[in-house]
């Protein structure tokens, strides 16, 4: 296995809850991220899935240094970057860029596309000398499949898919090694989602990028990811290669999420098992003792309230050869086929959510399709 370009260990972000106007007193904390461990290997895509509020965006913001962790370490090529500042931090930040969810609000409406994409050069002038910036921005527009002649246009003159391409071009400007994409296609039409995912895929090979790809859509995550981490209430509860997670899940929460993914094949749909979770997601201010999933888990036993399950290959599964041998934070982890015969890799554009809030694994609509469309280059315009 190639070496890890990014290692995350025990990463924590707690937002203090305070009371009082004059004498602010901390009365608790929102435990948005509460001990995340993961590795990102050079050149791979690590997908992160989980319900709304489980801490995905908070994790993303810490990875790109938009927020400082409360505790834990983020190591980039072996160096802990969590406490860096000044010039050393600036150098590292150049290599880890972010693509945001909402192409409507993440682009400044008063700036031209050229200024938006070229803005990182103001902070890192060494990345493109002044005289070459315009042509560099035009190159970037071309790379993401937009017409370089649109350099003087404003964001409102583009469609949602095109705006996300602008966001991606901006993310690429400093030639980073890692891109953290936080729900990069969630705000887009289903038909356009697949095009943007395919663009990210093509750019990864072209520029040897490593991705952390965050989404609540399990189908899209499978399409793009080499490995997938499942988050619940601020922690990764199961992680492995995409086939390990999707076809051989061992954590009850993953099994419940997968059971809610729409299955396009009517026969498979008939035989798939639906797991309906009961109970609400606990508040991140009041996380259950032991296993944090226990209040919704149908397998919970006394031990689950006492002992925190660690994210590791469960001891009783180390003797079972094959894909069940992957880290799963459950005392009683066991394989369960929720979708009969394993799933074919979806073609992208699916709409499978990660289950509804309120503790119910919801029935979603049918998986969408439409992987055609520009994957960058050639100056073609993304429809939509
Ligand atoms: N600045 C903040 N102050 C206090 N609480 C916060 C802050 N930012 C996030 N939170 C809380 O932390 C938890 C995790 O939020 P986060 O946005 O990381 O979740 P998410 O998984 O990205 O959700 P979504 O899928 O809806 O984007 C939520 O309970 C959220 O309300
Ligand atoms: S440790 Fe217990 S409560 Fe947690 S997922 Fe496993 S069986 Fe369920
Ligand atoms: Mg989010």
Q: Can you give the residue range of the structural domain that contains 169?
A: 42-68+80-384
| 326-381 pLDDT per residue, tens | 999 999 999 998 876 544 443 333 334 444 333 333 333 333 333 233 333 332 22
pTM beyond 0.95: the answer is no
Q: Which atom of ligand 1 is nearest to the CA of 283?
A: 29
Find how far residue 260's CA is from the centre of its chain.
19
Which atom of ligand 2 is least distant from the CA of 331?
Answer: 1
Q: Round to whole Å and give the CA distance between 251 and 317.
A: 12
DSSP one-letter code for 258: H
**CB-ligand 2 contact for 294 (6 Å cutoff):** yes
Of 191, 214, 192, residue with least CA distance to 63: 214
Q: By CB neighbour count within 10 A (0-12 exposed, 13-18 middle, 19+ buried), where does 71 fall?
A: middle
Q: Whose CA is nearest to atom 2 of ligand 1?
A: 15
Residue 25 forms part of a structural domain:
no
Q: What is the pLDDT of residues 1-15, one digit of tens each?
A: 568 999 999 999 999
319 domain residue, yes or no: yes
pLDDT value, residue 320 = 84
Q: Is the CB of 15 under 6 A from ligand 1?
A: yes
Task: Please say if the pLDDT value at position 267 is more than 90.
Answer: no
Lowest mean pLDDT among 135-149, 256-270, 316-330: 256-270
Q: What is the pLDDT, as a whole number, of residue 23?
A: 80
What pLDDT, in 10s, does the model give residues 175-201? Answer: 999 999 999 998 888 889 999 999 999
> Looking up tokens 């990182």, which residue turns up?
120
DSSP assignment of 213-247, as one string?
EE-S-HHHHHHH-SEEEEEETTEEEEEEEHHHHHH
- The answer to the question of residue 17 being in a domain is no
Atom from ligand 1 closest to the CA of residue 33: 14
pLDDT of 357 reads: 36
Task: Please indicate, yes or no, if residue 20 is contained in any of the structural domains.
Answer: no
pLDDT reported for residue 1: 57
Instruction: Indicate whether 48 pLDDT > 90.
Output: yes
Q: How distant is the alpha carbon of residue 355 from its chain centre?
A: 16
Taking the CA atoms of 136, 178, 235 and 75 in sequence, report the sign of the dihedral they define. Answer: negative
61 or 352, which is more confident:
61
- In the chain, the number of structural domains is 1
Atom 1 (ligand 2): residue with closest C-alpha?
A: 330
pLDDT tens for 73-104 read 999 999 999 989 888 999 999 999 999 887 77
357: CA distance to ligand 2 center in Å? 19
- State the DSSP H helix or E strand holding residue 206, giving kind and residue range, or none if neither: helix 190-207
CA of 191 to the centre of ligand 1 (A): 28
CATH number at residue 358: 3.40.50.300
To test the pocket of ligand 1, the residue of 51, 58, 102 to mutate (highest count of ligand atoms within 8 Å of its CB) is: 58
* Mean per-residue pLDDT over the chain, rounded: 86
The mean pLDDT of 45-64, rounded to a whole number, is 96
The residue among 337 and 119 whose pLDDT is bigger is 119
pLDDT value for 265: 80
In a domain, 11, yes or no: no
Task: Supply the pLDDT for residue 370.
Answer: 30
CA 203 from centroid of its chain's CA atoms: 17
Q: CB neighbours (10 Å) of residue 65?
A: 18
Q: What is the mean pLDDT of residues 37-62?
A: 96
Asked whether residue 29 is domain-assigned, the answer is no
pLDDT range class, residue 311, cuts 50, 70, 90: very high
Token pair 């980039």: residue: 76
Q: Residue 216: inside a domain, yes or no?
A: yes
Residue whose CA is closest, atom 28 of ligand 1? 53
- Residue 216 Cα: closest atom of ligand 1: 25
What pLDDT is attached to residue 349? 36
Q: Is residue 12 part of a domain?
A: no
Q: What is the mean pLDDT of residues 148-154?
A: 96
Characterize 100-134 residue by residue with b for buried, 16 or more Cβ atoms within 10 angstroms of its Cβ, and e for exposed. bbbbeebbeeeebbbebbbebbeeeeeebeeeebe
Distance CA 323, CA 254 (A): 15
């Amino acid at each position: 296995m190639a070496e890890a370009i990014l290692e995350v260990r025990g990463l924590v972000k707690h937002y203090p809850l305070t009371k009082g106007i004059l004498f602010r007193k901390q009365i608790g904390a929102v435990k948005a991220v509460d001990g995340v461990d993961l590795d990102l290997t050079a050149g791979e895509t690590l997908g992160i899935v989980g319900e709304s509020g489980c801490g995905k965006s908070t994790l993303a913001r810490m990875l790109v240094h938009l927020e400082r962790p409360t505790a834990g370490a983020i190591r980039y090529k072996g160096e802990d970057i969590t406490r860096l500042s000044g010039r050393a931090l600036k150098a590292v930040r150049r290599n880890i860029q972010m693509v945001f969810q909402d192409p409507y609000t993440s682009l400044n409406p008063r700036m031209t596309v050229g200024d938006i994409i070229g803005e990182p050069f103001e902070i890192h002038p060494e990345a493109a000398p002044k005289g070459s910036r315009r042509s560099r921005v035009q190159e970037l527009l071309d790379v993401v499949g937009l017409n370089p002649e649109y350099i003087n246009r404003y964001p409102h003159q583009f469609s949602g898919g095109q705006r996300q391409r602008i966001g991606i071009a901006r993310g690429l400007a400093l030639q980073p090694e890692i891109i953290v994409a936080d729900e990069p296609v969630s705000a887009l039409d289903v038909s356009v989602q697949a095009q943007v995912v395919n663009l990210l895929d093509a750019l990864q090979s072209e520029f040897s990028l490593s991705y952390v790809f965050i989404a609540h859509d399990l189908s899209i995550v499978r399409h793009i990811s080499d490995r997938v981490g499942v988050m619940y209430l601020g922690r990764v509860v199961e992680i492995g290669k995409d086939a390990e997670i999707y076809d051989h899940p061992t954590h009850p929460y993953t099994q419940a999420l997968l059971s809610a993914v729409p299955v396009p094949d009517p026969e498979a749909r008939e035989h798939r098992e639906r797991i309906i979770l009961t109970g609400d997601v606990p508040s991140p201010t009041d996380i259950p003792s032991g296993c944090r999933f226990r209040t919704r888990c149908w397998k919970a036993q006394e031990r689950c309230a006492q002992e925190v399950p660690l994210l590791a290959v469960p001891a009783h599964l180390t003797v079972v050869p094959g894909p069940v041998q992957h880290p799963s934070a459950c005392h009683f982890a066991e394989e369960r086929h929720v979708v009969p015969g394993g799933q074919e890799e979806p073609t992208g554009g699916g709409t499978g959510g990660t289950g509804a809030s309120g503790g119910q694994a919801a029935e979603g609509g049918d998986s969408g399709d439409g992987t055609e469309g520009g994957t960058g280059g050639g100056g073609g315009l993304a429809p939509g």
